[in-house]
Amino acid sequence: MRRHREFHPLALYFAIMGRSNPNRASSCPKVRSKRPRSASVAFVFTQYIASMNFLVTLDSLRTVEIDTRSATIPAMPPTKQSALLSSLSLVFTIATAALLPYAASQAAEHHAPKQAAQKKPAAKAPAAAPAAAPTAVAGGAPVLPAKAWLLMDFDSGQVLASENPDEPLPPASLTKMMTSFLVEQALRSGKLKKNDLVSVSQNAWCRGSSTESCMYLPLNGQATVIDILRGIIVQSGNDASKAIAEHMAGTEENFAKLMNAEAQRLGMTHTRFVNATGLPDPGHQSSARDLAILARAIIRDSSEFYPIYAEREFKYNGIKQGNRNALLYTDPSVDGLKTGHTQEAGYCLVTSSTRNGMRLITVILNTNSAQARADQTRTLLGWGFSNFEKATPVQPNTVVAAAKVSFGKADTVPAVLGSSWAVTVPRGQQVQTSVQIKPDLQAPVAKGAVIGKVVASSNGKPVGEAPLVAQADVERSGFMLRSWQHVTKLFGK
């Protein structure tokens, strides 16, 4: 019988478990265990839980008598022995029940490599990342003489066909789309009012000539903001563009800084504005893709004012002028946007057309005549509507996946499409979808929160993507359950 006045609680644990002191050298020969490492981990972990239970329970004990040979505790009252042994039994039961399935599965995996070595299954290829603005060209895309051109689907921003879409070129009066867009956004935000008066300075005023288009604002006179906006869009007035630029930013140079800031925000990466009119300047350039992006922003974000782009004429100061977009007179599906022409830029045209619920945007840059830009736009629109159609890959509120959630009261949450979604694909082609859920999603998760995305592809090419949102709330689990979830996550999945 040994008497220990001060002892480490683990000594008592090893005594009760019938194991020798771990600091004492063993005389038994070492035998390599055939038990899988994962099962050993589970076994040691259960013993660790038990020892921690003893550390807490026996913290107040200072003096006991231990017989390491008989594993008895003479100095401890029988009621306390019973309570301690019952606690030990309970802890072992819980830990073993929870970890035995994991240990068994890991033991099976311990033998699996020998069988897998005979024939390894082919690894799945990772899903291709969706392109920001993919090009889905159908067969027989038109060949146009314009230096650069582009066809874009409005809903998705997908480029359906193009030629030199990112080449910086002089945009001529297509520049005024940015000027009008800034005016429209200022009206929407309340910075400008429709009936605010705009003064016409000597710098803004113009008499008109064969090389310059004007609204014919009177020198030192005033015009309302809404008339100025119509003069920019319908009449392509340089005087209107300069006058509103000075009204909003003090000088045309300062207004150009606002234009460039907005272009950067929209992602117009090949654009630099020097003035509000598009008059020739070596540093004043844009691209077909950038102008399509701008046209899409006008249609989407300036819906209140977009009908002005379809107006065929505007009369101001007794002078009536027609819209130079010839397609407004010949194609009822066309409702905008802008023409442009200088000797350096050639003849340019940006249009938008809607047929059977599908809206397309076209850009023609640097062709040789007003008739040519109109004809090439008709060709591009006809080809686009004939060769592409809208498809709905997933219906709104359809559950497309069960997203795993860690540390929540629920283990999963349904992932659904939050709003309607359509893509444009070549006619007759099927649409496939793949789901990507955010990894390591943890509670709490709010209903409507974005938890992943669904990617649509056609003929092996991505054609669009849409966010997936949580269909319900997932609350964070309580402390005890969350602690156990941490443990199970550490030792298995």
Tokens 């194991």, residue located: 19
Rounded to whole angstroms, the Cα distance separating 373 from 85 reads 92
Q: Which residues contact 330 (CB under 8 A, 6 or more apart)?
A: 374
Catalytic residue selected from 147, 156, 162, 176: 176
Query: How many C-beta atoms surround the C-beta of residue 413 within 10 A?
Result: 26
Query: Phi and psi at residue 255, in whole multiples of 5°?
Result: -65, -35
Residue 236 a catalytic site member? yes
- Minimal CA–CA distance to 135: which of 122, 119, 118, 152? 152
In angstroms, the CA 360 to CA 48 distance is 67
CA distances 393 to 121, 420, 421, Å, are: 31, 10, 7
Answer whether 407's CB lies under 8 Å from 477's CB.
yes
Is-catalytic flag, 176? yes
Residues 162, 173, 180, 353: which is the catalytic one?
A: 173
Phi-psi region of 18 (alpha: psi -120 to 50; beta: other; left: phi over 0): left
CA distance 346 to 366: 4
Question: For residues 285 and 270, is the Cβ–Cβ distance under 8 A?
Answer: yes
AA identity, residue 121:
P
Place of tokens 């925000």: 265
CB environment 465-482: b (16+ within 10 A), e (fewer): bbebbbbebbeebeeeeb
Instruction: Tally Cβ neighbours within 10 Å of residue 252.
Output: 21
Q: Which residue has the tokens 């209140």?
A: 304
Burial (Cβ within 10 Å: 0-12, 13-18, ≥19) of residue 347: buried
H or E element: which one contains 159? strand 159-163
User: CB-based burial of residue 334 (10 Å sphere; 0-12 exposed, 13-18 middle, 19+ buried)?
Assistant: buried
Q: Which of 162, 236, 287, 477 is catalytic?
A: 236
Residue 345 contacts residue 366 (beta carbons within 8 Å): yes
Catalytic annotation on 369? no
User: Left (φ > 0), alpha (ψ -120 to 50) or beta: where does 107 sit?
Assistant: alpha
Catalytic center residues: 173, 176, 236
